[in-house]
Structure formats: C-alpha cells, structure tokens
Amino acid sequence: MNQLLKYSEYLNESLIDNTYVTDIKKHLLLFSDTIRKDWDVKGGKFTLFYDLYGDKDVFHGISLISKRRVSEIKKNYKNCRFTILYTTVYNDTDSEGRRNLSYDEVETILKNSNQYLFYDLVKGKRTENAAPDREHITEIIRSDSKPWYFILIRNKNCSLIKTKSRQESGKWAEHQLADIHGWEESSHDIRMKIDMNGESMRANGLIKTILKSEEDDIFTVIDDPATFVKYDLVIDNDKKIEVKKYGDKELWKGHSIPIMLAEQCKIADRRTLTRIVEWYNEIKSDDMESFDYIESLKLLDLEERKLSFQFSSENLEVPKICKNIKEHYNTRIVRLLDAFNSIDQDRWMHGIYGVYFASGRTNRINDFLIKIVDDGVRNIQYDWKIVGDWLGFRRLKLFMSVNGDAWEYILTEGNNFVRAFKLKDFEDYQGDRDSGILDIDVGVYVYDDIKHLWVKD
C-alpha cells in the first residue's frame, strides 16, 4: 500500500524548495484538484489545462528536467512553448492577453535559471486506483510540434501542482467510486456561518477576526442546516454520501473510535503564520514602544521559513514574543468551542444518506455504508474538540463517533444498499466477507469482482 505523507511534508509540499531537486519522489508532479474542479464546472480560470482532461484513462503531469537539458533549451528557446506556474495562476507564451508570457520574460528567466525549476509536460495511463505509476508517466507532450516546458519558481508556493504522494493520499476513493458506479462527484464541506456580537463574520476572515477579538466579544453560530453538512458523492441524483478512508476495525475496537469530519480555524502554512504576526503587530500598535510591538515587528523582517522556525518546537529557545502570540490566539479559540457544541446533534449531516467507508485501494469487498439515521435512530455522535496542532496553534475539529449498534450496509445492484450486520459484530462476519460470500438475514450475497458490488445468490 502507498504510504501517506508525513504531516510536516504535507504542509510544506506546495513550497518549491530544494527537496524538489534532491527527492526523486518529487521529480514527478501532478496537477492539483484546484485545476480539476475548474475544469469540471468550466469555470474559465485554467483553460490552458482543459485539453488535458478529455481522456479519463490518461493522467497528465510534469517531470523535472536536468540542468544539462536546460542549457540546451537556452540555445533555441524562441522555438519552444513555456508555461510558468505562480502561486494560484499561470502565464503562457502561447496565450493571449493577461495570461501571456513574453519571450523577453522567458529570456530573463533562463538567464537566472538557478532561481527556477523546469519540467516536461508528460502523460501516462491511469492505474486502477487512479494514481499513475511513476514509471508509466513518460510520454512527453509537445505543443503544435514545439517542445513544451513548465516552469516553477524556487522557494515560492504553488497550489497548482501536487506531489504523487499527495495524490495517493487524496481523493482516490471518490474518483474511483464515481468511475466504477457512475456516481456524481459533488463535494460539499461544512462551512459554518459565525456571528460576533450579532454581526456576521466573513469565512475567509475568521482567523483575523478571532485574533483581534476582545475578551467580552460573544461568538454565536447561525442556525443554517445547509452549512452543517458534508458530502462527496451523489447517487442517482438523490442520495448524498460522505466518503471516509477507514475500515470497520478502525472505527470499532470494543468502543467507538472518533474520526475527524471537519475543522475550523486551521493554521497550517507559513503564509498564514506571517499574517497572524502582522495582525498581532497591528493590535499592539497602540503602544509602539511596547515589547510585543517591537518584537513582533522584528519577526516580520524574517523570511517565512525562518519565521516559522521561531515558533517551532525544534527551536530550543522559542522567543517570548512567539509564546505571547500563540497564547493570545489560543485563548480566543477556546471561546468558540461552546458555540460550536451548542448546535443540536440532529442538525449535523441532516439529509445526508450515509457515510461510505472505503478501506482498500484496489478491492471494494470490505466497503460498507453507515446510514446517518436508520429507522429513526441517529447512528453518529458529533463532538467539537480543541486540538493543539501546527507550531502549537490550536484549531477546532469536529469528530464523529459511530454507534456500535449501527448497521453496516453493503452495496448491491441498482445502487441499492442492503443491511448486513452491526458494526460491533463485524469480526464475526470478516471471514465470510473475505471469501466473498455473506449469509445475512435478507439472504446470501456473493461479491462480484467485476461490478465491485454484492449480488444476491
């Protein structure tokens, strides 16, 4: 089985640092879901990439070019096509208007090539789990008979690409289920609307508002059920389901094991950290001779990576100003907890058919679904908790715990789900399930490896 990224690697992977040269696993990069989602809705933001998604059996990516090849490219660069990927946008020599990259700019880039990384556009066949094998993405793509090269800026973030390791740990289950069963991929995340002192807070300004809030400010959650739901797929234009990459042995070990469903107030990258220091400095600007104002201003003089190190536990002497900033933020996060947990349990995931648990990458035999509500009984308990996370900045996470008496449902023909056995009893049926034959109350079902579902015998 493919290994997930370590958390620290996941956080840092969008920063194009020196590991993209030294780590062979980062020599092949794939285009991010940001581009795929724009293509799905034809949003017009990344039209350059639209032709790359026409064949669902083909996966495109970019592959690192050696320094020697870059030297060769310099000799004939005006007969090549170049696309440079910035943090969230691109420029391209064959595009018009604001997306155009001039060859004068390309010449400057090539003269300073040590500040950039250069890639071929490549493609290869998808594997069964939708993540391509590295050795199979080798065919280089040209543009109108011209070589086509992609450029990344060293030591800058780029959200338009991802490492193959991230693809392996991402939405593979959702993509696979959609391809196998024809279900619609339709992602919806929990995005709560929060008031402070009766005034609505902007979702993208939540962290800033919390940081700048006062001790007597009151936070409340707007009772909007549409914001309390999460789902990934829609079946037959009717059943909305959330997908989780867990098996029953990970959900139940004599008692329910909580798994994360959503999170709020996530601080997990250097750019957000820099913004926090900036906002804290603004808060303390009433007294420009104070320790906190002067020291936070000094922090802002640091490069992002060095700034994050000041807050890190790897720093044997974390500065007092860093501790003050974290304490200021963390004490305010706590006040959101009661507001979040005041939401009625029945509001969460209201109207969602169930949670689909997919534990294996290449075999769907152990998949099952737990209904959110079954015969009027709620199967899942929801609980917001404060978790100490990146660099010690707290965040709020919503955990779901499945009742052991909840029934596992297996997928049968016609996109129907049949009640099989209770979660707490899964070990009693594991041998039969592994053999592909389940004798349950409603009959005997045999697993069909071709259709990836259970068929009544």
- pLDDT digits over 338-357, tens only? 899 999 999 999 999 999 99
Which pLDDT does position 143 carry in this prediction? 80
Contact 188, 262 (CB under 8 A): no
Has residue 102 got a pLDDT over 50?
Answer: yes
Measured CA distances, 356 to 97, 108, 251, 372, 400 (Å): 45, 51, 12, 10, 13
Which pLDDT does position 13 carry in this prediction? 46
pLDDT higher at 216 or 8: 216
Has residue 128 got a pLDDT over 50?
Answer: no
Show the tokens assigned to 201. Answer: 């807070």
Mean pLDDT over the full length of the chain? 87
Which pLDDT does position 83 carry in this prediction? 96
Instruction: State the Cα–Cα distance between residues 304 and 283, nearest whole angstrom.
Output: 21
Contact 31, 49 (CB under 8 A): yes
Percent over 90 (pLDDT), the chain: 53
Which pLDDT does position 5 carry in this prediction? 37
Residue 386 zone, left/alpha/beta (φ > 0; ψ -120 to 50; rest): beta
pTM exceeds 0.75 = no
What would you report as the CA-atom Rg of the chain, rounded to the nearest whole angstrom? Answer: 25
Q: Can you list the alpha helix ranges (DSSP code H) found in 134-171?
A: 164-168
Helices (H) and strands (E) in the chain, counts: 14, 27
Contact 163, 395 (CB under 8 A): no
Which pLDDT does position 201 carry in this prediction? 81
* Average pLDDT score over residue span 190-215: 85
Which pLDDT does position 362 carry in this prediction? 72
Show the tokens assigned to 33. Answer: 């879901």
Domain ranges of the chain: 7-168, 174-202+218-262+342-456
Has residue 35 got a pLDDT over 80?
Answer: yes
Give Cβ neighbours of residue 199 (< 8 Å, ≥ 6 apart).
none
Q: Got the DSSP string for 33-59?
A: HHHHHHHHHT-SSSGGGGGGGS-TTEE
Q: Specify the DSSP class assigned to residue 26.
A: G
Percent over 70 (pLDDT), the chain: 91
Q: At what angle do helices 304-311 and 320-341 cross, to 10 degrees?
A: 80
* Average pLDDT score over residue span 87-105: 92
Instruction: State the Cα–Cα distance between residues 211 and 32, nearest whole angstrom.
Output: 31
The b-or-e profile of 121-159 (16+ CB within 10 A means b, else e) is bbbbebeebbbbeeeebeeeeebeeebbbbbbbeeebbe
Contact 246, 259 (CB under 8 A): yes
Contact 123, 148 (CB under 8 A): no
Contact 87, 156 (CB under 8 A): yes
Per-range mean pLDDT, top range of 42-46, 139-143, 436-440: 436-440
pLDDT higher at 327 or 142: 327
* Average pLDDT score over residue span 307-320: 88
Has residue 126 got a pLDDT over 80?
Answer: no
Tens-place pLDDT, residues 154-180: 988 888 888 765 554 557 788 789 889
pLDDT band for position 294 (50/70/90)? very high
pLDDT band for position 103 (50/70/90)? very high
* Average pLDDT score over residue span 200-206: 77
Which pLDDT does position 90 carry in this prediction? 94
pLDDT higher at 416 or 270: 416
Which pLDDT does position 2 carry in this prediction? 35
Instruction: State the Cα–Cα distance between residues 184 and 126, nearest whole angstrom.
Output: 19
Instruction: State the Cα–Cα distance between residues 319 and 330, nearest whole angstrom.
Output: 17
Q: At what angle do helices 291-299 and 270-283 cross, to 10 degrees?
A: 150
pLDDT higher at 147 or 128: 147
Which pLDDT does position 131 carry in this prediction? 46
* Average pLDDT score over residue span 378-386: 95
Which pLDDT does position 174 carry in this prediction? 87
User: How far separated are the first and last CA of the chain, in Å rounded?
Assistant: 32
Has residue 309 got a pLDDT over 80?
Answer: yes
Contact 346, 365 (CB under 8 A): no
pLDDT higher at 409 or 137: 409
pLDDT higher at 340 or 40: 340
Which pLDDT does position 140 carry in this prediction? 78
Q: Specify the DSSP class assigned to residue 157.
A: B
Per-range mean pLDDT, top range of 17-26, 59-68, 145-154: 145-154
Tens-place pLDDT, residues 384-404: 999 877 888 998 999 999 999
Show the tokens assigned to 50. Answer: 């639209």
pLDDT band for position 267 (50/70/90)? confident
